[in-house]
Structures are given as C-alpha cells and as structure tokens.
C-alpha cells in the first residue's frame, strides 16, 4: 500500500469486494429507502381514511376538512425520516406534546390511533426491517402523546 503524498487526492477505500455501502443505489436515508414522498402520501392517506370515520378520533380534528391535518402530518413525517424540511420551515420545532395538549389523548385514543396507523403501515408492504423501524417509531410516538387517563 502506498501512502499518497501531500496534495494528492485519496482514493475512496472499498472495504469489501461487494460492499453495499459503496454501491451507487445504496442510501442510508430512510425516507429515500422506503420510496420517498409517494410512500408517505400513501401512509397518510390510508391513516386518515380510518380517522375520518372513527368516532373517538375524528372530534380531535376540529377542521371540517382533514386536508390541512394530513398535510401537517405528511410534512412532519417526511422531515423526521430524512425528506424535505418543509415542516420546520413552515411550522418551526414540532413540539408534539405541546401541540397535542389541547386534546384529551387517552389510552383508548392511542389504541384507536395505532389501529388506523397499523392499517396504513401494512398498506405500504415495506420490507420487514423498514416496516419494523417505522412501526416502532409509531408505537413510541403514540404512547408519548397520551395526556389523560382512561374514560372508564
């Protein structure tokens, strides 16, 4: 192995002959790896199809049209997973717990939310690693939004 002299550019080193990290099609960006914008639009569309007819969740969306809520959630998820930073540019820091405080989020509401999100995640038919990563986040996020005790 020769050591490059000062000013001589270094050649990138490939660790293994078939190192996937140095292949042109490889990305370490979750957003790109799962299909980018189209994937997240489908996730949001399927999720809000369920929310629209859910008697526990629908009242938490005061706007008659769910379109603005869908757009906000889409922007948030895209930014979180490595896509466009539109959410931060338009709305600033997510402050999720603060933004959800006006709503009574009970353990039952969390379960309904997860039910509709499970349907949406399943609709994506992602490879198991990506599905598991996305679902783990959704479960943790839903749990962190609970701010009220059960109705019972």
Residue 41 has pLDDT above 70, yes or no: yes
Which residue, among 91, 54, 57, has the nearest Cα to 71 in the 3D structure? 91
Residue 18 has pLDDT above 80, yes or no: no
Q: Which residue has the tokens 């986040």?
A: 137
pLDDT category of residue 102 using cuts at 50, 70 and 90: confident
Helix (H, G, I), strand (E, B) or coil at 18: coil
Helix (H, G, I), strand (E, B) or coil at 85: coil
| Mean pLDDT value of segment 65-91 | 95
Considering only the C-alpha atoms of the chain, give the largest distance between any 2 of them, rounded to a whole number of Å.
Answer: 74
pLDDT category of residue 10 using cuts at 50, 70 and 90: low
| Mean pLDDT value of segment 98-125 | 93
Residue 51 has pLDDT above 70, yes or no: yes
**Contact present, 145 and 97 (Cβ < 8 Å):** yes
């Amino acid at each position: 192995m020769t050591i490059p002299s000062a000013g001589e550019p270094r050649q990138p080193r490939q660790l293994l002959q078939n190192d996937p990290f140095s292949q042109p099609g490889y990305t370490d960006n979750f957003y790109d790896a799962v299909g980018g914008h189209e994937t997240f639009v489908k996730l949001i569309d399927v999720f809000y199809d369920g929310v629209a007819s859910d008697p526990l969740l629908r009242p938490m969306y005061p706007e008659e049209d769910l379109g603005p809520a869908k757009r906000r959630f889409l922007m948030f998820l895209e930014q979180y997973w490595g896509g466009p930073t539109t959410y931060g540019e338009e709305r600033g820091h997510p402050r999720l717990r603060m933004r959800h405080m006006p709503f009574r989020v009970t353990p039952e509401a969390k379960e309904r939310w997860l039910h509709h999100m499970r349907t949406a995640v399943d609709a994506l038919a992602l490879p198991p690693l990506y599905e598991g990563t996305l679902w783990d986040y959704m479960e943790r996020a839903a749990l962190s939004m609970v701010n009220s005790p059960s109705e019972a």
